[in-house]
Chains A and B, each alone.
Chain A
């Protein structure tokens, strides 16, 4: 289990940032991802692996109409 935006989310072996965004259906183009407080650059989304128990933040920087 990992924490995503403060809530529990099932973890899977080898889960990358990209995979997490797909599972969460986060399609917004301006998302800042942090794992345990460290920003992950967009170029690393396909390779950066999330470990069981990690605290992940997917911050959508959107303040609307």
Chain B
């Protein structure tokens, strides 16, 4: 049954923008267009910037994630949808997170973003709550938007996306023109729900899924009773953005395609195995999170190394999640047969695994079993669960279990010790069914800590040390203990400990290129700003530095990949006809980054106290950890702290090292805030906002209350 239908004039994109967005309110089935103003384009550019701006205007400081006024905004960006440059089909999703209560943003592939753009909209705002499950359909060729009651009984994404692709495509050939956004049954029962964005794989003749994973966006989606979003657009071509200078875009693209063709096999093998190429490298450098981030390596890592996945996954098919991406990091295991759960015995496709999934669902929970990782990966995706949050919170549970904080009685019989893959799988099925201990686990680490302390009498200090969450979001999968800069890369962020702002471990810990606080602060300014830019444009980060020009090592700043930075400047100028340089690129990001910080402050967070991190991210919490790397830590006490560890107990040594490391983090925080133009409490100053032309009255009003 159609609840409302809206007809709109088809238009053309001009220099990367439609100059309008689509607004839908599910409480009263309103569908309308909004103008994308010059102000929005100047200050917020697109993508995540538009999402944050719309959300800012939709909510108040009192709004909760499950209030009707909360929005989910999906936006791409001015560069999104080109097919000449790899990694140009991303969508950015923004909402108030059920985990952090602040704006969350997540970057996702699949065809939905570009098709939304080609259908005529620079963003999609979803507000309100439907009474019954609905499907929203955008027909980008006929200019029709429909809200319809859902008649689909299936609850999991791999089925939902397949059914809806079949339904809305005219025929087999048309399936590539359809993209579905959905989540799965666990999004109804947990706070870690994700969104799956589909694309049709014409070689496999199957629907594939990419994930907007972080922060519980899928949970908000289901709270609004959205079953799925579907867009159909026929006629994709490389020039639909009507760029100002197509030649400039083509030139940058050809250069990068050539690099990938010549160098990827020698560099990161993204086409062969994708991001999983670094599993064994992380292990070798003691950075692979193992047993809830206690350790950085494990003797059994070889069982989940990239070659094991390559043998099962790639089938020699380089894969992309948008047209023209020759880096092709997407991977799939075809004909995978789960051994548990509702799809036991059926042949399914598992997308991935990414490095993060292998670490989260493998080493961090002690499961060194390739097929178990793939099964967990499949169920996370189709149930709509963020793999990173699931892995990190399960690792936390397992450490609690092994420390007697949990037992079989409290877990309803699940023996959740490290390495118990059967228990981990049952936990995920419970999340999907909304049953048992899975309901508690699905609340995330922050809420579990509260329950374990208040109801089970657990030691609060211990749980706060080992619970790897910050701002309410679970950590992603790198061990940051030996890299102060990466501790900041996780902690001094806007949305929580996700490594998409900065990944500085090698620059810092291995290369020792940023030895001083000022060096680290400069890196924690530049890289978060640079990486923010991908989210404003609808771009993927990987083609920036997972392939590098052969002569990059001879440049002044190899870590920045200067030639690729220039490519991005050329892409932006080529699309929009503007004339920015690499410095203005950073300023574009700074505007949105500072805006997001102020948004956090407006919501009651976003200050220094919220940038503190659990000690497990900084150093050894337990004697077991200290003793496992005793020589390293003893040497640090001698050389860095100036203490002779001889004669000290392990407990005393842990305390001395902790005092030193926590002090280092505070000094780093001072340096980073100063570099970013913030007060020592983490508040952007009015001077900084003026420098950025962001001295907008409503922002000044928020910061003035905190200066």
Which of B371-379, B446-454, B507-515 contacts the other chain?
B507-515
- Alpha-carbon separation in the docked complex, A39 to B234 (Å): 51
CA distance A11 to B285 in the complex (A): 21
* 19-37 of chain A: CB within 8 A of chain B: 25-30, 32
Determine if B510 and A60 form an interchain contact, defined as CB atoms under 8 angstroms apart. Answer: yes
Find out whether the CB atom of A6 lies under 8 angstroms from the CB atom of B512.
Answer: yes
Residue B503 contacts which of A25, A29, A57, A63 (CB distance < 8 angstroms)?
A63
Interface residue? B267 (CB, 8 A)? yes
Inter-subunit contact A65/B355 (CB<8 Å): yes
Complex Cα spacing A43 to B495, Å: 44
Pick from A5, A6, A27, A63: contact of B559, CB under 8 Å: A63
Task: Establish whether residues B506 and A65, one from each chain, have CB atoms under 8 Å apart when the complex forms.
Answer: no
CB of B383 within 8 Å of the partner chain: no
Inter-chain contact B512/A27, CB cutoff 8 Å: no
B281 touches A28 (CB 8 A): yes
- Asked if B515 contacts A59 (CB within 8 A), the reply is no
Contact between chains at B284 and A39 (CB < 8 Å): no
**In the complex, which residues of chain B have a beta carbon less than 8 angstroms from the beta carbon of A7?**
512
The distance from the CB of B568 to the nearest CB of chain A, in whole angstroms, is 15
Chain A residues with CB under 8 Å of B595's CB are none
Contacting residues, chain A, for B554 (C-beta < 8 A)? 39
Check: B299 CB closer than 8 A to any chain A CB: no
Number of interface residues of A (CB under 8 A): 20
Verify B476–A60 contact, CB threshold 8 A: no
A61 with B478: CB separation less than 8 A:
no
Residue A2 is within 8 A (CB to CB) of chain B in the complex: no
Contact B559 A65, beta carbon cutoff 8 Å = no
Contact with B along A39-65 (1 / 0, CB 8 A): 100000000000000000111111111
Whether B281 and A5, one on each chain, are in contact in the complex, defined by CB atoms closer than 8 angstroms, is no
In B264-281, the 8 Å CB interface with A consists of: 266-268, 275, 278, 280-281
Q: Do B281 and A27 have beta carbons less than 8 Å apart?
A: yes
B478–A65 CB distance below 8 A: yes
Instruction: Report the bound CA distance from A59 to B512 in whole Å.
Output: 9
Contacting residues, chain B, for A29 (C-beta < 8 A): 266-268
Given known A29-B266, A39-B553, A65-B275, contact A59–B513 (CB-CB < 8 A) = yes
Q: Are B476 and A65 in touch, CB under 8 angstroms?
A: yes
Closest to A6 in B: B512
Interface status of B558 (Cβ within 8 A of chain A): yes
Whether A25 contacts B284 in the complex (CB less than 8 A), given A64-B499, A64-B503, A65-B476, comes out as yes
Nearest chain-B residue to A7 (Cβ)? Answer: B512
CB-CB contacts below 8 Å: B92-130 with A = none
Q: Judge whether A65 and B511 touch: CB under 8 Å.
A: no
Residues of chain B within 8 A of A5, CB atoms compared: 510-512
Q: What are the residues of chain A within 8 A of B280 when measuring CB–CB?
A: 27
Q: Out of B499, B510, B512, B513, name the residue touching A65 (CB < 8 Å).
A: B499
A59 with B558: CB separation less than 8 A: yes
Is chain A's interface secondary structure helix, strand, loop, or mixed overall? loop
With A5-B512, A6-B512: A65-B558 Cβ-Cβ less than 8 Å:
no
Q: Which residues of B contact A6 (CB under 8 A)?
A: 512, 515
Are A32's CB and B553's CB within 8 A?
A: yes
B352 to chain A minimum Cβ distance, whole angstroms, is: 13
Kindly identify which residue among A25, A27, A61 contacts B558, using a CB–CB cutoff of 8 Å.
A61
Contact of B548 among A60, A61, A65 (CB under 8 A): A61
Q: Known: A28-B281, A30-B548, A59-B513. Is A64-B266 also a contact (CB below 8 A)?
A: no
| Chain B, range 162-212, C-beta contacts under 8 Å to A | none
Instruction: Note all chain A residues with C-beta closer than 8 A to B504.
Output: 63-64
> Which B residues touch A59, using CB under 8 A?
511, 513, 553, 558
CB of B473 to closest CB in A, whole Å: 16
Which of A28, A57, A63, A64 counts the most B-chain CB atoms under 10 A from its CB?
Answer: A64
Q: Please state if B355 and A57 are interface contacts (CB–CB under 8 Å).
A: no
> Considering the complex, which residues of chain B in the window 511-569 have a beta carbon less than 8 Å from any beta carbon of chain A?
511-513, 515, 527, 545, 548, 552-554, 558-559
Verify B512–A32 contact, CB threshold 8 A: no
B505 interface residue, CB < 8 Å from A? yes
Given A27-B284, A39-B553, A65-B478, also A60-B506 (CB < 8 A): yes
B567 to chain A, nearest CB (A): 16
A29 to B476 CA separation, bound complex (whole angstroms) = 24
Do A61 and B553 contact each other (CB < 8 Å), given the known contacts A25-B284, A27-B284? Answer: yes
Docked complex: B241-286 residues within 8 A CB-CB of A: 266-268, 275, 278, 280-281, 284-285
Smallest beta-carbon distance A18→chain B, Å: 17
Query: B399 interface residue, CB < 8 Å from A?
Result: no
Contact B559 A61 (CB under 8 A): yes
Q: B351 at interface (Cβ–Cβ under 8 A)?
A: no
Hey, which chain A residues are within 8 Å of B500, CB to CB? 65
- Name the CB-closest residue of A to B559: A63
**A57 pairs with B476, CB closer than 8 A:** no
The minimal Cβ–Cβ distance linking B69 to chain A, given in whole angstroms, is: 34
Query: Known interface pairs A7-B512, A30-B267. Does A64 touch B558 (Cβ–Cβ under 8 Å)?
Result: no
The answer to whether B356 has its CB under 8 Å from any CB of chain A is yes
Contacts of A64 in B (CB 8 A): 478, 499, 503-506
B348 to chain A, nearest CB (A): 25
Give the nearest-CB partner of B287 in chain A.
Answer: A64
Chain B: minimal CB distance from A1 (Å): 15
A64 to B284, CA, bound (A): 15
Min C-beta distance of A51 to chain B, whole Å: 21
Give A13 to B149 CA distance when docked, in angstroms.
Answer: 77
B132 CB to closest chain A CB (Å) equals 39
A10 to chain B, nearest CB (A): 14
Tell me, rounded to whole Å, the shortest Cβ–Cβ distance linking B262 to chain A: 14
Nearest-neighbor residue (CB-CB) of A62 within chain B:
B506
B267 cross-chain contacts in A, Cβ below 8 A: 29-30
Which residues of B are found within 8 Å of A30, using beta-carbon distances? 267-268, 548
Q: How far is the CA of A46 from the CA of B548 in the complex (A)?
A: 24
> Distance (Å) between the CB of B101 and the closest chain A CB?
26
Alpha-carbon distance A26/B286, docked complex (angstroms): 12
What's the minimum C-beta distance from A40 to chain B, rounded to whole angstroms? Answer: 11
> A26: which B residues are within 8 A, CB to CB?
510
Q: Which of chain B's residues 451-469 have a Cβ closer than 8 Å to chain A?
A: none
**B residues 544-601 in Cβ contact with A at 8 Å:** 545, 548, 552-554, 558-559
In the assembled complex, 13 residue pairs joining A and B whose CB atoms fall closer than 8 Å, in A order, are: A25-B284, A27-B280, A28-B506, A30-B267, A30-B548, A58-B511, A61-B558, A63-B504, A63-B527, A64-B499, A64-B503, A65-B500, A65-B503
Given contacts A27-B284, A39-B554, 7 further A-B contacts (CB under 8 A): A29-B267, A58-B510, A63-B506, A63-B507, A64-B499, A65-B499, A65-B503
Q: Which A-B residue pairs are the 10 nearest by beta carbons?
A: A64-B503, A6-B512, A32-B553, A5-B512, A60-B506, A63-B545, A62-B506, A59-B511, A27-B284, A65-B499
